[in-house]
């Protein structure tokens, strides 16, 4: 056997084993995807153990002189791999790109070797479809980013991306793209990246059209996306845009929830007085209900479309621009009987403000009666509103795990306290009323403390200009937390003095949870340079 012949056989054998490994990895990926997303078995079975056994026997005989026999064996195994690849691709056609994305989103640890093997399998296909290109785009993008422990990712350096992708493209046929066209495409991607980075809000980013233009550009590229000069830039741009989208979405998501709660309060006020709603307002609220339903369905199925988020935002803006919701929680001053009658008789002002009707019960009006103040009003209303969505037949222990309440991480005693306040069973001025009011305020403050700790950390990492404002807000929260903790101490001492131990364990749990959130925010606030409120 000549040295040239042996070298050629070795190269073919290496290529054969590489194809086998990528198919085996792809087969495992399909098994995992069907199990976790379809709750079923992979629809095909392939005997990889016998294949690997044949490869071992082939490798052991590579140095022998029977080159013709070795050549036939390699050809036979390649034909076998072609047949297996076809069967795997037929199954893969049942998996849209969105499901591949969702599967990898659920993986906590994404092995670079697994990504490389699956990419190799797709690139080895004789025909690359539009869906295959979308899947390659998803996989290549994950290869080009470095996940961060807390959230988000970092984009790899250009030379690192090139190091990873160049070996993958060596078996692809050369693409007929002129250098002039490549330069035009590179400039176009640079312009799109600069435009996206210049957006200051989620609405500006989505409505501006840069995301759609970038997607259209990748669609037009087709297989040319795999050009050795274009692919690294496509991936670098994709990860950069993806990170910017995530940053702006984090801001927008919390704002959407806050504004949605305001509009829901308006709906509750009008439910008891439908005659006060103008035709224009009713039409807008119907559009809001439809947009919110699509938004919620997208979140529940992990397939939220940015168009649905934008639709909800634009609808909320239209309602909030025309109807001032800030006055919903306003309580009329009980100065005189005449003033009370005037306040109750005042009609709904759709051009400037919406005033609650006399006797109306809502999360915000109850929150105001608790004297939560502007610091806690929003969070008290959030808790009470979420609680009203839970079936009242469910016990407090069951309600804390309901999907409407679970994200607030309340204690069962806090849910019970809220219900007593809503039902009027915990009257103001009584011991039960004061205890229930205090538990609700402590829960609201705990949620605020946790949110502010995350917000300070996020804004500092982004170098946001709003970082000092977040520190100032946290100072006010810390000061209020100290006050509520002192009040917890008084209530515990009073219960011990009176021998009333029925609620002691509940009080201790709620107090310690408040202290944990309090200390967590204090440490972050102090470390980031916040001015101590003491």
Q: Which of 489, 487, 474 is nearest to 533 (CA)?
A: 474
Total number of domains constituting the chain: 2
pLDDT category of residue 52 using cuts at 50, 70 and 90: very high
Tell whether 527 is covered by a domain. yes
358 in any annotated domain: no
Q: Give, rounded to a whole angstrom, the gap between the first and last alpha carbons of the chain.
A: 86
Per-residue pLDDT tens over the stretch 432-490: 888 889 999 999 999 999 988 888 887 777 777 778 888 888 998 999 999 999 989 98
End position of a domain, from candidates 79, 99, 127: 127
Q: Is the pLDDT of residue 360 over 50?
A: no
* Cβ count near 500 (within 10 Å): 11
Does residue 415 sit within a domain? yes
Given a cut of 70, whether residue 381 has pLDDT beyond it is yes
Q: How confident is the model at residue 261 (pLDDT cuts 50, 70, 90)?
A: confident
Residue 86, pLDDT above cutoff 50: yes
Span 295-320, average pLDDT: 84
Tell me the residue range of the domain where 105 lies: 1-127
What is the C-alpha to C-alpha distance for residues 270 and 319, in angstroms, rounded to an integer? 14
Give the predicted TM-score (pTM) of the model: 0.61
Q: Of the candidates 97, 127, 157, which is a domain's last residue?
A: 127
pLDDT-wise least confident of 124-138, 151-165, 214-228: 151-165
Local confidence band at 356 (pLDDT 50, 70, 90 cut-offs)? very low
> Does residue 173 belong to any structural domain of this protein?
no
Could you tell me if residue 214 is inside a domain?
A: no
Average pLDDT of the segment spanning 355-367: 43
Residue 372 is predicted with a pLDDT of 59
* 429 against 351, higher pLDDT: 429
Query: 501 in a domain, yes or no?
Result: yes
Task: Average the pLDDT over each of 80-89, 168-177, 225-234, 238-247 and give the range with the smallest value.
Answer: 168-177
Helix (H) or strand (E) holding 142: helix 130-144
Q: What is the DSSP string of 297-339?
A: HHHHTT---HHHHHHHHHHHHHHHHHS-GGGTTPPPP-S-HHH
Token pair listed for 351: 């051009």
The full DSSP string for 44-83 is ----HHHHHHHHHHHHHTTTSS-HHHHHHHHHHHHHHHHH
Summarize pLDDT for 1-29 with one digit per residue, the tens.
455 467 888 888 999 999 999 999 999 99
The whole-chain average pLDDT of the chain stands at 82
256 belongs to a structural domain: no
| Under 8 Å between Cβ of 73 and 58 | yes
* DSSP tag of 152: -
pLDDT beyond 90 at 235: yes
For residue 153, report the phi and psi dihedrals to the nearest 5 degrees.
-155, 170
Structure confidence by residue, pLDDT tens digits, 90-118: 999 999 998 999 898 887 667 889 999 99
Residue 47 burial class via C-beta count within 10 angstroms: exposed 0-12, middle 13-18, buried 19 and up: exposed
404, 450 in Cβ contact below 8 A?
Answer: no
pLDDT at residue 268 in the model:
80
Q: List pLDDT tens digits, range 407-416.
A: 888 999 999 9
CA torsion 425-427-430-431 (nearest 10°) is 50
CA–CA dist 126, 165 (Å, integer)? 19
Q: Give the domain-ending residue among 93, 127, 161.
A: 127
- With bands split at pLDDT 50, 70 and 90, how would you rate the model's confidence at 370? low
Closest CA to 171 of 248, 226, 133, 129: 226
- For residue 259, what are its two tokens? 């504004």
Read off the tokens for 235.
């991936």
Q: Quick check: is 267 in a domain? A: no
């Amino acid at each position: 056997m000549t040295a040239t012949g042996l070298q050629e056989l070795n190269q073919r054998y290496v290529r054969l084993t590489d194809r086998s490994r990528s198919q085996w990895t792809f087969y495992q990926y399909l098994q995992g995807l069907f199990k976790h997303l379809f709750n079923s078995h992979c629809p095909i079975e392939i005997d990889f153990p016998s294949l690997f056994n044949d490869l071992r026997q082939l490798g052991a005989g590579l140095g022998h002189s029977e080159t013709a026999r070795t050549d036939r064996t390699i050809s036979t195994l390649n034909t076998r791999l072609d047949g297996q690849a076809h069967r795997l691709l037929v199954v893969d056609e049942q998996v849209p790109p969105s499901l591949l994305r969702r599967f990898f989103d659920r993986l906590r640890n994404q092995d670079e070797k697994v990504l490389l093997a699956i990419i190799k399998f797709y690139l080895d296909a004789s025909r690359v479809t539009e869906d295959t290109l979308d899947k390659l785009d998803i996989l290549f993008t994950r290869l080009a980013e470095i996940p961060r422990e807390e959230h988000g990712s970092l984009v790899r350096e250009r030379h690192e991306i090139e190091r990873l992708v160049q070996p993958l493209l060596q078996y692809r046929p050369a693409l007929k793209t002129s250098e002039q066209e490549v330069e035009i495409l590179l400039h176009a991607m640079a312009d799109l990246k600069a435009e996206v980075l210049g957006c200051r809000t989620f609405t500006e980013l989505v409505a501006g059209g840069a995301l759609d233009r970038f997607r259209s550009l990748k669609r037009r590229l087709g297989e040319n996306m795999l050009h050795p000069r274009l692919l690294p830039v496509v991936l670098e741009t994709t990860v950069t845009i993806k990170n910017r989208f995530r940053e702006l979405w984090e801001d927008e998501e919390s704002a959407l929830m806050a504004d949605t709660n305001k509009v829901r309060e308006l709906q509750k006020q009008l439910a008891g007085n439908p005659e006060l709603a103008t035709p224009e307002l009713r039409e807008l609220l119907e559009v809001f209900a439809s947009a919110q339903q699509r938004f919620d369905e997208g979140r529940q199925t992990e397939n939220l479309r940015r168009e649905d988020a934008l639709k909800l935002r634009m609808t909320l803006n239209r309602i909030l621009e025309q109807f001032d919701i800030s006055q919903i929680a306003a309580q009329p001053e009980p100065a005189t009987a005449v003033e009370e009658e005037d306040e109750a008789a005042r009609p709904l002002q759709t051009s400037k403000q919406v005033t609650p009707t006399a006797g109306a019960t809502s999360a915000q009006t109850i929150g105001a009666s608790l004297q939560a103040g502007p610091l806690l009003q929003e969070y008290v209303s959030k808790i009470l509103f979420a609680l009203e969505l839970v079936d009242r037949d469910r016990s407090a222990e069951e309600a804390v795990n309901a999907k409407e309440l679970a994200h607030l991480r309340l204690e069962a005693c806090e849910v019970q306290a809220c219900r007593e306040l809503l039902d009027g069973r915990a009257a103001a001025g009584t011991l039960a009323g004061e205890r229930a009011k205090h538990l609700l305020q402590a829960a609201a403050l705990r949620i605020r403390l946790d949110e502010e700790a995350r917000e300070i950390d996020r804004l500092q990492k982004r170098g946001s200009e709003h970082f000092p404002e977040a520190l100032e807000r946290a100072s006010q929260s810390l000061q209020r937390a100290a006050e509520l903790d002192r009040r917890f101490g008084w209530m515990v001492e009073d219960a011990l003095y009176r021998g009333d131990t029925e609620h002691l364990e509940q009080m201790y749990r709620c107090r310690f949870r408040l202290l944990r959130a309090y200390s967590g925010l204090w440490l972050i606030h102090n470390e980031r340079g916040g001015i101590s409120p003491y």
